[in-house]
Amino acid sequence: MSASLAKRMGPEAILEAVFAQAFAGGAFKLPAGVTRADLRVALTLEPSAQARIYEQIRAGFRAHGNSAVPVANRPAGKLSWLALLCAILIMGSLAVLSMPRQLPPVAMQPLVAPVVLRPSAPKAFVLAATSKAEPPPEPVALLLLRATYDVDALAALQNRAATGEADAAYALATLLDSQRTQDEITLPKDNKAAFAFYEQAARAGNVEAEFATGRAYQTGRGVAADATLATAWFRAAALSGFAPAQTSLGFAYQTGLGIEPDNASAAIWFSRAAAQADPAGETALGYLYLFGQGVAQDQLHAVALFSKAATQKFGPAALALGYCYAQGMGTIQNLSLAAQYFLKAGKSGVPQAGAALAMLVSPPGP
């Protein structure tokens, strides 16, 4: 953050401006004069302080009727037994989101070759005296690959994390957080130590670590569960454009994870994740359109969102499409296609798919 901007605004005012811009809807853009570096410094505020500022802005927008997405009531009428039961089963399958992605590889830098000079004497060549260049540090991604079985690589990773390198701390956290085979004996699984490194990397600005820290607070893995802090960390990563965090923040608003339930706010964040082709965000947004929760009901758009997510072999989306074809919601009823999508969902590991298929072929009596 530039010194002049820091004097004029300060972290709290910058967050207020960013959060207000977030409620404007549509694609997220930073307010005029605020850079990504300014936002990163502002996000060093305690997550509880971030949550307080965010809720104040949200309350102000709701009080003045400035919500970006109008809340629509759920349509009247009764759903069939299969619609109700499938809806319950399907929404449960969306609770588990993908874990943070692996670190991208970093290209190795070429070493500097020695310089050959031609001296005054004919037909004689000597190597010029040059200072030996220090080799570039090994990329964190390569260290992580070797750290499961190589104690030297593990030590290098630990040393770089100890110096405050965010990517190294995050890599070490994922190593401690994973279950390994007997051959990979360098580190035992340790949820508490993993959380400590996740939080260290998150406070140093690693976006994936911010998301992982939120997940830890949400599930209580390695730290006492805290819904408010979970949502605050999801928000920090979501504002940096990390799609899985945007989906998680949408679920936080949908379920009331440490905040007041608000389907309109959930729709905003699901939309931003869906704009990045996040299949979980597309599926979650599809359900809001299917039932008209937080948005105007549009079952055709819901089926389109489910179809986009299903092309990425996302099991819950296939389950949702099966449900739509079974009920004729947003499409023509087709029990054969419904069964095919339920089978695809089952092959993707969605546990509710078997029950949905069983109900389809053998519906219960009245």
Q: Which residue has the higher pLDDT, 135 or 215?
A: 215
Statement to judge: residues 267 and 234 lie in one domain: no
d(CA 201, CA 300): 42
Query: Average of pLDDT values for 319-342?
Result: 94
| Residue-level pLDDT at 176 | 87
**pLDDT higher than 90, residue 232:** yes
Closest CA to 113 of 94, 125, 127, 93: 127
Characterize 34-51 residue by residue with b for buried, 16 or more Cβ atoms within 10 angstroms of its Cβ, and e for exposed: beeebbebbbebebeebb
Statement to judge: residues 229 and 328 lie in one domain: no
**pLDDT higher than 70, residue 349:** yes
Closest CA to 174 of 203, 149, 152, 145: 145
pLDDT tens for residues 117-148?
444 444 444 445 555 667 788 898 888 888 87
Residue pair 337/323 in contact (Cβ under 8 Å)? The answer is: no
On whether residue 116 sits in a domain, the answer given is no
Give the total number of structural domains in the chain: 3
Statement to judge: residues 148 and 187 lie in one domain: yes
| Residue-level pLDDT at 124 | 47
Residue 365 is part of which domain span? Answer: 262-366
Q: Residue 319: which residues within 8 A CB-CB, separation 6 or more?
A: 89, 90, 93, 341, 342, 345, 350, 352, 353, 356
On whether residue 108 sits in a domain, the answer given is no
30-39, 163-172, 188-197, 301-310: range with lowest mean pLDDT: 30-39
| Residue-level pLDDT at 105 | 42
- Residue 117 DSSP one-character state: E
| Residue-level pLDDT at 110 | 38
Statement to judge: residues 183 and 148 lie in one domain: yes
Closest CA to 289 of 307, 311, 308, 304: 304
Domain-ending residue, one of 63, 87, 115: 63
Domain-ending residue, one of 63, 82, 111: 63
- Residue 198 DSSP one-character state: H
Tracing tokens 């959060």 back to the chain, one arrives at 19
Residue pair 252/259 in contact (Cβ under 8 Å)? The answer is: yes
d(CA 196, CA 200): 6
On whether residue 195 sits in a domain, the answer given is yes
Statement to judge: residues 209 and 270 lie in one domain: no
On whether residue 50 sits in a domain, the answer given is yes
Q: Exposed, middle or buried, 52 (CB in 10 Å: 0-12/13-18/19+)?
A: middle
| Residue-level pLDDT at 50 | 72
On whether residue 216 sits in a domain, the answer given is yes
pLDDT tens for residues 9-25?
677 777 677 766 665 55
| Residue-level pLDDT at 173 | 92
pLDDT tens for residues 275-288?
999 999 999 999 99
Positive or negative torsion for Cα 215, 219, 222, 228: positive
Statement to judge: residues 266 and 358 lie in one domain: yes
pLDDT band, residue 8 (cuts 50/70/90): low
The token pair that represents 269 in the structure block: 């964040």
On whether residue 119 sits in a domain, the answer given is no
**pLDDT higher than 80, residue 200:** yes
**pLDDT higher than 60, residue 183:** no
On whether residue 24 sits in a domain, the answer given is yes
pLDDT band, residue 331 (cuts 50/70/90): very high
Residue pair 226/242 in contact (Cβ under 8 Å)? The answer is: no
Query: Average of pLDDT values for 50-63?
Result: 68
Domain-ending residue, one of 22, 39, 63: 63
d(CA 222, CA 346): 31
On whether residue 233 sits in a domain, the answer given is yes
Average pLDDT, the chain: 77
CATH number at residue 170: 1.25.40.10
**pLDDT higher than 80, residue 356:** yes
Statement to judge: residues 222 and 290 lie in one domain: no
Closest CA to 350 of 324, 326, 323, 318: 318
Residue pair 267/23 in contact (Cβ under 8 Å)? The answer is: no
Query: Average of pLDDT values for 171-191?
Result: 75
Closest CA to 302 of 10, 24, 55, 90: 90
d(CA 197, CA 140): 15
